[in-house]
Amino acid sequence: MGEFLGLPFDASAHGPLIDRMIILVHWLMLVLFTGWGSYFVYVLLRFRRSRNAKADYRGVRNHASSYLEGVVAVIEAVLLIGFAIPLWSMRVNDIPPETDATVVRMVAEQFAWNVHYPGPDGVFGKTDISLISPENPLGLDRNDPAAKDDIVTINQLNLPVGKPVIIHLSSKDVIHSLNLPLFRVKQDAIPGQSIRVWFTPTVTTADIQHTMARKFAVPSGKVPDELASLVTLADYTGKDGQVVLAKGASLTDDVLPALRDAGIVEVVLAPETPTEIACAQLCGLGHFRMRGFVTVQTAEEYKAWVADQEAQISQ
């Protein structure tokens, strides 16, 4: 339903509830807009100047409009008490226990997202403002035993699928806003505050790519811009078995002749990074480049990623 109405792909457990709320509110607004709009047009015609109509200064004597207003108020109350408040309470109060969740810290800064994982020991190492440097954007104190296994990434959030994620969100400088559109998450990052946000990713980024993939005819001239940002999900091989266009590559002008020679007339392309992190608060001149990536992986892939990061730290 959400996608049919132009809402982005839903990749979190609570996403459909947010979408339902958006859809219900829009239905009410549509009814109010057409109702009031047609009443306005009716009044314009009924009391138009050429008709020389005289308004009755005592006004309406029945209560039809009051009943109508009452109905609108009741619908609004149902939306608020029946849907909005329970959803808000679930998002803000019912945070799952940290033992069952992937817990990360995210510290926004002009103009990047610093991600801090506690590592296998589950304890965040100490951070200190005096240790902050371009190489150590979080000021992590690697001498602290709890910090030894901590993983720090910039603009990259890896998460395992199907497990709640709790983000402790803060900011180093100005107000930013963590926006994960496909996960229906948006939360301001405020200096001096650590705010918890949580969600459960339900689909891996690879599966989202496959869902978003579409067939495109191999262009006869140049590759249009809208295709240049997409990537393939499989290898395309020529008649000799050589890979003409590799998995994960984009279409480029120079690969087109090889594709045609191989008799490939259409390719399946998908967005390279469908799950992005955006900053939803105009935070300065570089706001536009505060772009990060979420990679939702299977539990095994995530474990392998953590192991790989750990190996890099110990080097």
**What single-letter DSSP state applies at residue 122?**
T
Which span sits near Cu ion by CB under 5 A: 34-42, 81-89, 113-121, 277-285? Answer: 277-285
Query: Of 155 and 237, which has the nearer Cβ to Cu ion?
Result: 155
CB of 169 to Cu ion, least distance (A): 12
Instruction: Note the Cα 62 to chain centre separation in Å.
Output: 50
Please, what is the angle between helix 85-92 and helix 15-46, to 10°? Answer: 150
Instruction: Note the Cα 314 to chain centre separation in Å.
Output: 33
DSSP 3-state assignment of 283?
coil
Residue type, 233: L
Query: Of 106 and 165, which has the nearer Cβ to Cu ion?
Result: 106
Query: Of 177 and 297, which has the nearer Cβ to Cu ion?
Result: 177
Query: Of 169 and 213, which has the nearer Cβ to Cu ion?
Result: 169
d(CA 63, CA 124) in angstroms, rounded, equals: 64
CB of 22 to Cu ion, least distance (A): 24
CB of 95 to Cu ion, least distance (A): 24
Binding-site residue total for Cu ion (CB under 5 A)?
4
Answer for the pair 281, 190: CB distance below 8 angstroms, yes or no. Answer: no
Contact string 283-302 vs Cu ion (x = CB under 5 A): x------x------------
CB proximity list for 2: less than 8 A, separation 6 or greater: 10, 15, 16, 19, 23
CB of 167 to Cu ion, least distance (A): 15
Query: Of 171 and 200, which has the nearer Cβ to Cu ion?
Result: 171
Which span sits near Cu ion by CB under 5 A: 60-68, 143-151, 174-182, 291-299? Answer: 174-182
Strand order in the sheet with 214-217: 214-217, 266-271, 230-232
CB proximity list for 125: less than 8 A, separation 6 or greater: 118, 140, 141, 142, 144, 145, 146, 147, 148, 150
Query: Of 159 and 279, which has the nearer Cβ to Cu ion?
Result: 279
* Binds Cu ion by CB under 5 A, chosen from 230, 255, 279, 294: 279
d(CA 238, CA 259) in angstroms, rounded, equals: 7
CB of 291 to Cu ion, least distance (A): 10
Q: Per CB under 5 A, does 112 bind Cu ion?
A: no
Q: Per CB under 5 A, does 176 bind Cu ion?
A: yes
Per DSSP, the residues of 140-154 read B-TTSGGGTT-EEEE
CB of 181 to Cu ion, least distance (A): 15
Which residues lie near Cu ion (CB under 5 A)? 176, 279, 283, 290
